[in-house]
Amino acid sequence: MLSGRKALAKVSRTPGKTQTLNYFWTPEGWFLVDLPGYGYAKVSKAMRKHWEGLIRNYLIRRPSLAMVFLLIDGSIPPQQNDLDFTNFLGESRVPFAHVFTKTDRVPKTKRQAFREAFEEKLLETWEALPLSFMTSAEKRMGQDELLAYIRSIKEQLTAEAEGNA
């Protein structure tokens, strides 16, 4: 959705197909890195543990990391693994935002209800909610807002770098 190129990344109906870090260079001058999922992948416990270490090390030890967009299936109720990973990112002080995906698959009234249910669960332990976006790759919903936010991050980082030069 972000690139505007449907065939850029391979997708599958079977969870767990992304098993490596996949880097995509954008024409706007930033990298998009697709990480293995942590949710419903049908893989062994050993592979899941390997991915967890890979992902956590990448996110914590990557000095050039500007933002993590945590993709959350917006067509289903809150999942514990999404809440747990959100807590990990917060505790690790990794900058992130939630991106609720597949929101075109549910009626508008339920979209907001799923988002609110997720946010209510977070507010049990969080004082303030992280930024979030409602998206649909098929309908391009949320694309402009998400790209504008990415551009603003890039502009801020550029300004900071020029100020330190």
pLDDT digits (tens, 9 = 90+) for 54-63: 888 999 998 8
d(CA 20, CA 55): 10
Span of 12-21, 76-85, 93-102, 133-142 with lowest mean pLDDT: 12-21
Q: How confident is the model at residue 19 (pLDDT cuts 50, 70, 90)?
A: low
For position 17, what pLDDT does the model report?
57
Residue range 150-160: mean pLDDT, rounded: 90
Tokens at residue 40, please?
A: 């419903």
Question: Cβ distance 101 to 86 under 8 Å?
Answer: no
Q: How confident is the model at residue 164 (pLDDT cuts 50, 70, 90)?
A: confident
Q: What is the mean pLDDT of the chain?
A: 85
pLDDT tens readout for residues 83-100? 999 999 999 999 999 999
Question: Cβ distance 116 to 159 under 8 Å?
Answer: no
Which residues lie below 8 Å from residue 130, measured CB to CB, with a gap of 6+?
A: 86, 90, 96, 97, 98, 122
- The CATH homologous superfamily of the domain defined by 22-164: P-loop containing nucleotide triphosphate hydrolases (3.40.50.300)
Q: What is the 3-state secondary structure (H, E, C) of 111-123?
A: HHHHHHHHHHHHC
Q: Where are the beta strands (DSSP E) in the chain?
A: 22-25, 31-34, 68-73, 96-101, 132-134
Q: How confident is the model at residue 34 (pLDDT cuts 50, 70, 90)?
A: confident
Question: Cβ distance 105 to 79 under 8 Å?
Answer: no
List the domain boundaries for the chain: 22-164
For position 6, what pLDDT does the model report?
67
